[in-house]
Amino acid sequence: MSRIDWERLHSVALIAMKKAYAPYSKFPVGVAALVDNGRIISGCNVENASYGLSLCAECGLVSDLIASGGGRLIAISCVDGQGNQLAPCGRCRQLLFEHGGPTALLMTDDGPQTMATMLPWAFGPDDLDRNER
């Protein structure tokens, strides 16, 4: 894979954030990712009056990944309503880890970090066969 265009990912995440539906929290989130086949996908948060049913931006991103042909996440940029880099919550880090693995990169205020760094001791698909060993 060639060089990661972090500026482009940030721009796509900003566009997604502006489409967020966040009337309750007033906290729009956008996320964009580079997939291993070169395409760029995105997602935004979609809230619900029943707060527990709200969808995180990362859920939308993973849905876009699967609906548009699958693949593996290579690089991810997540932004808040002001366009600042935003670290996903633990649940969303798990989603990103599932579809990008430990080497997928997430942009942070400190620069790109691997998902293994962002979610140490992550539980993944390889752990499911532990009972069979």
Residue among 7, 58, 98, 132 flagged as catalytic: 58
* Residues 61, 33: Cα–Cα separation, whole Å: 8
DSSP-derived secondary structure letter, 28? -
Tell me how far the alpha carbon of residue 60 is from its chain's centroid: 9
7 assigned to active site: no
Which of 68, 89, 48, 25 shows the shortest CA–CA distance to 33? 68
Helix, strand, coil abundance in the chain, percent, nearest 5? 35, 25, 40
87: exposed, middle or buried (Cβ count in 10 Å: 0-12, 13-18, 19+): middle
Alpha helices in 31-104 (DSSP H): 57-67, 90-100
Residues identified as active-site: 58
